[in-house]
Structures are given as C-alpha cells and as structure tokens.
Amino acid sequence: RAMVPMFWGIAALAYFGNPELDPHYAMPEMLGKILPLGIAGLLMAGMFAAFMSTHDSYLLAWSGVIVRDVVSPIKAMLAKSSGEREADGTWGGLSSEREIYWTRAIVVILAAFLAIFGALYQLPETAFRFMYVTGSIYFSGCVGTVALGLYWKKANTPGAYCALILGALVPLNFLIMTENQHLVPEFLLPLVENSNLVGITSLALGGLAMLVVASLTQRSHPPRLLDFSNME
C-alpha cells in the first residue's frame, strides 16, 4: 500500500530536483507537466473510478458485517434463539429479507456519516498517514482474530472481542492525541510522532489480547467447534 505513493514522491523529487517544494502538490504538478491533456484526463477519470469502486465496496462490506455480526446476533439473543442455523441461513436472528433491508439502511447511514466526517474533520498531517492509522484500527485486531482463530485451537469469542477492541485502541488514541499533544505525557509522545510504532503496537496488543483472554476464559467460553461435514 505504501510503495506506489512512495514511488510517485521519488519520481517527483527526481523530476523537480528541489526538496523545498510543497510535497503535497509535487505529484500532481509532475503529472500535469509530463502528461498530455487527454492522457491526464483519462488518468483522472481512472482515479475517480477506482475511488468510487473502493468506497462502494467498503460501504457494502461494512454494512454486511454490521448486519450479520451485530444486528442479527442481538436479534437472536433477544429472541432467545437456540443458536442453530435456520433454513434461511441465519442463526435465529434476521431473515434474509430483513437482512437486505437493514443492509440498505446502514449503507445510507454510513455514507451520510462519511460525508459529514469528511467535510468537518481536519487531517492532522497527511492524508496517507491518516489512512495508514485508520486502517490499523480494524486491521490490527483482525490479524490477531483471524490468524489465531484459524490456527490456534483455544481461540474463543471473548478473546476475539478483546483482540478487536485493543487492536483499535492504540490507533484511536493516536488520532485523539495528535489533536491534543499538549496534554500527552512525555512517555507517550513516541506514539504521536511515529505512526509506524502505532501500527506495530496495535498488532502486538491485538494478538496478545487474544492469547491472554482466550486462555483465561476456556472454561466459561469453550472454543466453538465448526462442523464442515455437510458442506458440498
């Protein structure tokens, strides 16, 4: 994810040969000078198409996760479901039709939130660094959850929840601390100044949370054994 932006920056530095230029505009200015107008227009159209394609995939994925992993289980819990898979593919929660309805509604809610957040929030430094840190919010917890969930036989639900929460805690604190650096204790300043340290710390916390919490809750929440015998 970092190689392409780095390559653009290196190419712009080599083209202009002046490190004192504003780095935020180096790549656009370089492309504007070396590309013909028609090619530049096609490049911009391709970038906007990729932008829209990425965001609609994210919206659909996030809304599906919220419906399947949050709304439907809560509905099943309130209905005191047995936890067995129903004929429509749910676990006693929402029906397939209601899942589609909720997915559509949450897509609209998420899109509205992103529009408002994008209009009001001021980036602390660069857009790429912001993307790097916010990506760590879900990536760090998911790595510990998915990797240990697949390859560690003691992985369980409480461990997965704690891995997701602690994996997201460090990046969220980073975003808050960058806006209030005068309140940050001195020993936490490296987490504000070094986004790479934020990513490594969140990965370590996510994996450690799964290991510790799952080990302590084996009796109360034994690992759920998956049965794949009926898969075609």
Question: What pLDDT, in 10s, does the model give residues 149-206?
Answer: 888 888 888 898 899 888 888 888 877 777 777 777 787 777 777 777 777 888 888 8
Q: Are 73 and 139 part of one and the same domain?
A: no
User: Which of 23-27, 57-61, 200-204 has the largest mean confidence?
Assistant: 57-61
Total domain count for the chain? 2
Answer yes or no: are the C-beta atoms of 181 and 115 closer than 8 Å: no
- One domain for residues 131 and 188: yes
DSSP the chain: --HHHHHHHHHHHHHH--TTS-GGGHHHHHHHHHS-HHHHHHHHHHHHHHHHHHHHHHHHHHHHHHIIIIIHHHHHHHTT------TTSSSSS--HHHHHHHHHHHHHHHHHHHHHHHHHPPPSS-HHHHHHHHHHHHHHHHHHHHHHHHH-TT--HHHHHHHHHHHHHHHHHHHHHHH-GGGS-GGGHHHHH-HHHHHHHHHHHHHHHHHHHHHHTTTTSPPPPP--TT--
pLDDT, position 108? 95
Integer Cα distance of 1 and 144 in angstroms: 20
**Could you tell me the pLDDT band of residue 84, with boundaries at 50, 70 and 90?**
low
Q: Per the domain annotation, does 162 fall within a domain?
A: yes
Residue-range definition of the domain harbouring residue 75: 55-121
> Looking at the structure, do residues 145 and 195 belong to the same domain, yes or no?
yes
Would you say residue 20 lies in a domain?
no
Q: Is residue 4 part of a domain?
A: no
Same domain for 136 and 216?
Answer: yes
Are residues 88 and 147 both part of a single domain?
no
133 and 190 fall within a common domain: yes
- The answer as to whether 12 is a domain residue is no
pTM for this one?
Answer: 0.66
Give CA angle at 136 (45, 148), nearest 5°: 125
Question: Looking at the structure, do residues 92 and 168 belong to the same domain, yes or no?
Answer: no
Q: Are 59 and 150 in a shared domain?
A: no
**Same-domain pairing of 107 and 131:** no
Residue 135 pLDDT > 90 = no
